[in-house]
Amino acid sequence: MPSLNDPRFTGAFTAIVTPFTQNGEAIDYDRLAAQIEFQAKGERGTGGVKGIVVCGTTGESPTLTEREYQELVKRAVELGHKHKLLVIAGTGSNATAHALHNQTVARDAGADGTLSVNPYYNKPTQEGLYRHFAAIAEAAEKGGPILPIILYNIPGRTGVALTTATVERLAKFRSIVAVKEATGSLDSGSEIAMKCPNLALLSGDDSLTLPFASVGGVGVVSVVSNILPGRVAALCAAFNGGNWDNALRIHRELYDFCRAMFLETNPIPVKGAMRLLGRDSGVLRLPMCDASAATMAAVRQALTAQGLL
């Protein structure tokens, strides 16, 4: 493994859902506590993931109020640290000033790192992207210990992608420690791993975790691990330990399940799966809505194939 800015940010991290009450009007903190404990212990006591990401895409962060966001980050840090998990807070925004504010919230809450997405909708140039993340990185390196930043490259959601050249410029900041690549492009992952060896390359697509590992990836920010934290952690441990045969076996065992979790926009299928398992209300906030009957039938079949139903 290359010399990373922060070697803690390798392995499996769960992009945790935000559990809502039955009417969707509030966050269900009792369920949140149970879900975080599940992430630490793993299914069937197999051992869990290295950390969690709260207030990310899977956590429906655009639907949270400012008060909810601050409380959710605070509670997640407390609960995660209780179980020895790293806690990463989603802090991205399409306004640099707001992203900087979210970074302050995360720092004050004691988060171990932040996940900062490409600014969405306004579609900045590469220079604009560089200046946005540079401002965040500079702030993260002031006023005490460095607050680590994971860049979140997901053009399908944001309308713009970080190029390898821009990531290479940003890799010079000590506070930028990793890239979550949700581009679906092995070429992009390959180039980042080659040109930015100090950054941890994390897959942002569950079905591509092992393929990304083959070109230099060292982990994943996973949706599937909401359901199967132990199996996703075992996959990462296998390839990071050089056991490629075992990694391929686990990849193949999880592949169909991974695909089922993305039959509709994330987190619609995974919340439906958690409802079937009795682990979540399944409630989503508009504009997200319940999965179709066809998707739920496929989700039920995927859970059954994994021996969970």
In this structure, what CATH number is given to the domain that contains residue 89?
Answer: 3.20.20.70
Structural tokens at position 302: 């995927």
Contact, 135 vs 116, CB < 8 A? no
In a domain, 88, yes or no: yes
- Check pLDDT > 90 for residue 138: yes
Residue 291: pLDDT over 60: yes
Q: Which of 214, 210, 168 is nearest to 190 (CA)?
A: 214
Choose the catalytic residue: 180, 195, 255, 271.
Answer: 180
Instruction: Report if residue 123 sits inside a domain.
Output: yes
* Digit-coded pLDDT (tens) for 71-125: 999 999 999 999 999 999 999 999 999 999 999 999 999 999 999 999 999 999 9
- Residue 153 within any structural domain of the chain: yes
pLDDT band, very low/low/confident/very high, at 8 (cuts 50, 70, 90): very high
Which of these ranges, 1-5, 112-116, 170-174, 263-267, has the smallest mean pLDDT? Answer: 1-5
Q: Which pLDDT score is estimated for 2?
A: 60
In a domain, 108, yes or no: yes
Which residue range(s) make up the domain with 80? 11-243
Q: Given pLDDT bands bounded at 50, 70 and 90, which one contains residue 1?
A: low
Q: Is the residue at 263 inside a domain? A: no
Dist CA 71 CA 77 (whole Å): 10
Task: Give the model confidence (pLDDT) of 46-84 as tens digits.
Answer: 788 999 999 999 999 999 999 999 999 999 999 999 999
pLDDT of residue 190: 97
Residue 79 CA to residue 76 CA, distance in Å, equals 5
User: Rg of the chain's alpha carbons, rounded to an integer?
Assistant: 18
Contact 116, 162 (CB under 8 A): no
Domain annotation covers residue 125: yes
Torsion of CA 182, 24, 12, 76, to 10 degrees: 120
- What is the percent of the chain with per-residue pLDDT over 70, rounded to a whole number? 99
Give the count of domains, the chain. Answer: 1
Active site residue 180: yes
Mean pLDDT computed over 213-220:
98
Task: List Cβ neighbours of 109 (8 Å cut-off, separation of 6 or more).
Answer: 70, 73, 74, 77, 89
Q: Is residue 272 part of a domain?
A: no
Q: Would the pTM of this model clear 0.75, i.e. be above it?
A: yes
- Mean pLDDT for 122-131 is 97
> What is the pLDDT, as a whole number, of residue 141?
95
The pLDDT mean for the chain works out to 97
The string of pLDDT tens digits covering residues 232-246 is 999 999 999 999 999
pLDDT at 184: 94
Handedness of CA 252, 254, 256, 262 (dihedral sign): negative
Catalytic residue among 50, 130, 152, 271: 152
Quick check: is 293 in a domain? no
To the nearest 10°, report the CA torsion of 55, 57, 60, 62: 90
Give yes or no: 152 in active site: yes
